[in-house]
Amino acid sequence: MPGLLERYRAYLPLTPQTPLLSLSEGSTPLISAPRLSAHLGVDLHLKYEGLNPTGSFKDRGMVVAVAKAAEAGADTVICASTGNTSAAAAAYASRAGLKCIVLIPDGNIALGKLAQAVAYGAQIVAVRGNFDEALGLVREISAERPIALVNSVNPHRLQGQKTAAFEIVDELGAAPDILALPVGNAGNISAYWMGFREYRSAGQTDTLPRMWGFQASGAAPLARGLDRVEQPETLATAIRIGSPASAHLARAAVQESGGLFDHVSDDEIMAAYHLVAREGVFCEPASAAPVAGLLKLHAEGRLPSGQRVVAVLTGNGLKDPGSAMRAVQAPAAVDATMDAVLASLA
Amino acid sequence: MPGLLERYRAYLPLTPQTPLLSLSEGSTPLISAPRLSAHLGVDLHLKYEGLNPTGSFKDRGMVVAVAKAAEAGADTVICASTGNTSAAAAAYASRAGLKCIVLIPDGNIALGKLAQAVAYGAQIVAVRGNFDEALGLVREISAERPIALVNSVNPHRLQGQKTAAFEIVDELGAAPDILALPVGNAGNISAYWMGFREYRSAGQTDTLPRMWGFQASGAAPLARGLDRVEQPETLATAIRIGSPASAHLARAAVQESGGLFDHVSDDEIMAAYHLVAREGVFCEPASAAPVAGLLKLHAEGRLPSGQRVVAVLTGNGLKDPGSAMRAVQAPAAVDATMDAVLASLA
């Protein structure tokens, strides 16, 4: 499969001068979920974004943002991030021959989470301040220097992310009835809605999905109708965001599509995470939020049966193996005999 | 893309009764490596097997092995493994509705490495013994119970793994001049060679590649012409094997193709690992062995220029983030001002 810039060139803000940057991002599988479908009474498919090159949906937006930065003559990109964004930025910058600077808030350094960015050759700077201060700094630096900002305020990010909607329509032959996805910074739900609408305008689908956005209960400003949550808390770190940057666009997507926001507890997220794994798909905890949401709405009698539903799994479970191990104890050793092994399984 | 059983059905040992098990494995990208190509004087492509569903090439063989186990009426599969095999076995067993038992040697339990198998729902049994004893036990149990053995002694594993050779030919339009890959248990080099030969018999390629197998210097029985290495040692854990199960087939592949075995040090492996990441591709240390081998042979004047070379990257770097972080120190924090950040980068 060609990369996204080549596959969806006609729908992206490219010029003849834009380098066709690619790490074979996109074209991720849409995997049926037979057991969850039977339980929920719907036809559920999982859009497994964890099989993007750096393991998350962020690659879709970053390939566009970095290609446009290269086109504009930048020799460096910069972002504030401690997670998936930094991995994607570092990978595409390295591929394009650009430098990459990642600012992280001091005191909140999970070195393991930066393993990818480091491997791809990013320069990591820890600043004495919180995430908002780090983001303010990268905005300031990008305004004053020939350094391209690739945080989600960069509009090319959503342009790239909308391609996932195209792929779903291309594979199903039409838009699903419901598109369920995790909501943190709220960029992705906005990008999908943009993608579905553009594809309808282009005659690729007659219908549009209802957009169902699920937040973690401890970080649910949109689902609770708040402007912001001051101290967001959830083990689904990828959606632990109190003040979504794209809140306005996300509210429009839900309203225009006749969709909804709801929130799910960490326990509900982890239960869904294990059910998704039993379908054979290993995702990040945040990715399980839409499945948790579907289970919750089903239990409340609010999930219409017979619908075709796509749940977006935004990241690979390998990004956060600790979550898989948290509930596990080291197995007690048994003697190296068949009887002992079989007895331990009884 | 359909899964492997559907895509390459005509080349696999399937019957009308074989369930078309799939997690959308295979169809992994072949990514050009422009900087390494320029340095080496060849046209190098990286076959990035880390984008398989569980993050390694093992999915190719396991989808066949588990489908055949289900067809044969097994309700359980079993393997001895502490790494990529257990993840693949657990995922496909869960998908097929089978139970999965993973035996691991006690005292050698890296819980993190088992995160995936646990998430997919495998039962883990630690036995008081070494890996060979664990393998002996799973052979014994599978012989006496209706439990299917899915370790690499299962011949369906190589049948599935050969499909990667098909994909390379399908994408390039012909076999490459050289196929370079890491060699541990030696099953994969044997499977690729089988795949290339079958595809030539089917008229899909006129030529065959030379097979270049690279071992880690501390675990290099084939490269050193030994029957076995008693205490294999390398940080590339996926190829830390002293007595390769498929040594005979691998020797035949190298001899028949006019290829070679060689070995590379851990330092050479880690240098290559970082160079591969700078191309934008994050792989396991073991996956960097063939690139390290190409660099070594180039330095020795033994890599002919102008060749089309494919290096197989067998696993995703996210399987072993510790290797990326080993050389990294926590960055010193700087004040949250533009001047301080820019000064720290100087």
Identify from B36, B338, B344 which residue to disrupt to test chain A contact, counting A C-beta atoms within 10 A and taking the largest count.
B338
| B332 sits in which H/E element | none
Q: Is B129 on the interface with A (CB under 8 A)?
A: yes
pLDDT tens string A293-340 = 999 999 999 999 999 999 999 999 998 888 877 767 777 789 999 999
Output the CA–CA distances (angstroms, integers) from residue B32 to A87, A239, B115, in the order listed.
20, 34, 31
Report how far residue B227's alpha carbon sits from residue B248's, in angstroms, rounded to the nearest whole number: 10
Output the CA–CA distances (angstroms, integers) from residue A88 to A36, A46, A151, B323, in the order listed.
31, 22, 11, 19
pLDDT of residue B106: 81
- The answer, yes or no, to whether residue A51 has pLDDT greater than 90, is yes
Query: Of the candidates B96, B120, B97, which has an alpha carbon nearest to the alpha carbon of residue B21?
Result: B96
Q: Do the Cβ atoms of B106 and A333 come within 8 Å?
A: yes
Q: Where are the alpha helices (DSSP H) in chain A?
A: 4-7, 34-40, 58-71, 84-96, 115-119, 131-144, 155-161, 163-172, 187-201, 221-224, 247-257, 266-278, 289-299, 321-325, 338-345
Q: Which residues between 65 and 104 in chain B have a beta carbon less than 8 angstroms from any beta carbon of chain A?
A: 91-92, 94-95, 101, 103-104
- The answer, yes or no, to whether residue A110 has pLDDT greater than 80, is no
Chain A CB contacts of B54 under 8 Å are 282
Is A57-149 a domain of CATH 3.40.50.1100? yes
pLDDT of residue A346: 75
Please classify residue B267 by burial: count the beta carbons closer than 10 Å to its beta carbon, then call 0-12 exposed, 13-18 middle and 19+ buried.
exposed
Residues in the annotated binding site of B for pyridoxal 5'-phosphate = 84, 184-188, 314
Query: Of the candidates B167, B131, B136, which has an alpha carbon nearest to the alpha carbon of residue B27?
Result: B167
Phi, psi of B162 (to 5 degrees): -65, -20
Contact of B241 with B247, CB cutoff 8 Å: no
Is B4-55+155-325 a domain of CATH 3.40.50.1100? yes
Buried b (16+ CB within 10 A) or exposed e, A283-316: bbbbbbbbbbbbbbbbeeeebeeebbbbbbbbbb
pLDDT of residue B109: 61
ipTM over 0.85: yes
Q: Do the Cβ atoms of B128 and A1 come within 8 Å?
A: no
SS3 B181: strand
pLDDT of residue B251: 98
pLDDT of residue A320: 85
Report how far residue A292's alpha carbon sits from residue A214's, in angstroms, rounded to the nearest whole number: 8
Amino acid at A206: D
Residue B332 C-alpha, separation from nearest chain A C-alpha, in angstroms = 6
Output the tens digit of pLDDT for each of chain B's 346 residues. Answer: 799 999 999 999 999 999 999 999 999 999 999 999 999 999 999 999 999 999 999 999 999 999 999 999 999 999 998 789 999 999 999 999 999 999 998 875 666 678 899 999 999 999 998 888 899 999 999 999 999 999 999 999 999 999 999 999 999 999 999 999 999 999 999 999 999 999 999 999 999 999 999 999 999 999 999 999 999 999 999 999 999 999 999 999 999 999 999 999 999 999 999 999 999 999 999 999 999 999 999 999 999 999 999 999 999 999 888 887 776 777 778 999 999 999 998 7
Q: Is B316 on the interface with A (CB under 8 A)?
A: yes
Q: Which residue(s) pair with B342 in the sheet?
A: none
pLDDT of residue A131: 82
pLDDT of residue A324: 79
Where does chain A hold its CATH 3.40.50.1100 domain(s)? Answer: 4-55+155-325, 57-149
Q: Is B271 on the interface with A (CB under 8 A)?
A: no
Q: Do the Cβ atoms of B324 and A119 come within 8 Å?
A: yes
pLDDT tens string A187-229 = 999 999 999 999 999 999 999 999 999 999 999 999 999 999 9
Report how far residue B6's alpha carbon sits from residue B2's, in angstroms, rounded to the nearest whole number: 6
Contact of A109 with A38, CB cutoff 8 Å: no
Contact of B80 with B108, CB cutoff 8 Å: no
Record the tokens describing residue B174, joined without a space. 């012909």
| Cα angle for residues A325, A328, A334 (degrees, 5° grid) | 125
pLDDT of residue B108: 59
Record the tokens describing residue B284, joined without a space. 């396991």
Query: Of the candidates A242, A101, A178, which has an alpha carbon nearest to the alpha carbon of residue B346?
Result: A101
Please classify residue B329 by burial: count the beta carbons closer than 10 Å to its beta carbon, then call 0-12 exposed, 13-18 middle and 19+ buried.
exposed
Q: Do the Cβ atoms of B137 and A336 come within 8 Å?
A: yes
Contact of A123 with B345, CB cutoff 8 Å: yes
Q: Do the Cβ atoms of B51 and A53 come within 8 Å?
A: yes
Report how far residue A183's alpha carbon sits from residue A244's, in angstroms, rounded to the nearest whole number: 9
Q: Which residues between 141 and 170 in chain A have a beta carbon less than 8 angstroms from any beta carbon of chain B?
A: 141, 144-145
Record the tokens describing residue B34, joined without a space. 């422009």
Report how far residue A345's alpha carbon sits from residue A343's, in angstroms, rounded to the nearest whole number: 5
Q: Is A7 on the interface with B (CB under 8 A)?
A: no
Dihedral of CA A239/A250/A54/A114: which sign? Answer: negative
pLDDT of residue B306: 98
Report how far residue B206's alpha carbon sits from residue B175's, in angstroms, rounded to the nearest whole number: 8
pLDDT tens string A241-274 = 999 999 999 999 999 999 999 999 999 999 999 9
Arithmetic mean of pLDDT over chain A: 94
Residue A165 C-alpha, separation from nearest chain B C-alpha, in angstroms = 17
Q: Is A300 on the interface with B (CB under 8 A)?
A: no
pLDDT of residue A105: 85
Could you say which of A92, A95, A115 has the minimum Cβ distance to residue B321? A115
Could you say which of A133, A274, A344 has the minimum Cβ distance to residue B336? A133
- At residue A111 the predicted structure's pLDDT band, cuts being 50, 70 and 90, is low
